[in-house]
């Protein structure tokens, strides 16, 4: 999943607080970006927008609440990332 952002540092901080661990990457001459590999090998990448739309999409993910900072209680939480995207989180 690729998330384009004009506010990369804020998005990295936001998603890191949900328990994602990002590493800086660059493929060839492409832009520097950040990638996190989830437990099921799904890759979440945050790229600089550089003219790409940062559409108001709704993301969904399942997390262990103990990895979030602050910790999230079990259940459903809908929060907003720094770009205004809704993130629907199901906490086990």
Q: If DSSP codes are grouped into helix, strand and coil, which group holds residue 14?
A: helix
Q: What pTM was estimated for this model as a whole?
A: 0.82
- Which value, in Å, is the radius of gyration of the alpha carbons in the chain? 13
Long-range (24+ apart) CB contacts under 8 A made by 65-73 are 65/91, 65/92, 67/18, 67/19, 68/17, 68/18, 68/19, 69/17, 69/19, 70/17
Task: Give the per-residue pLDDT at 28.
Answer: 93
Q: Would you place residue 71 in the very low, low, confident or very high pLDDT band (cuts 50, 70, 90)?
A: confident
Task: Give the per-residue pLDDT at 40.
Answer: 80
Q: Which class would CATH give 2-91? A: alpha beta
Task: Give the per-residue pLDDT at 60.
Answer: 87
């Amino acid at each position: 999943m690729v998330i384009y952002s004009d506010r990369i540092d804020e998005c990295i901080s936001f998603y890191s607080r949900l328990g994602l661990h990002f590493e800086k990457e660059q493929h060839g001459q492409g832009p520097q970006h950040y990638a996190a590999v989830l437990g099921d090998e799904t890759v979440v990448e945050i790229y600089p927008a550089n003219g790409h739309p940062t559409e108001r999409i709704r993301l969904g993910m399942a997390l262990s609440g103990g990895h979030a900072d602050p910790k999230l209680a079990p259940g459903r939480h809908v929060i907003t990332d720094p770009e205004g995207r809704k993130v629907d989180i199901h906490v086990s």
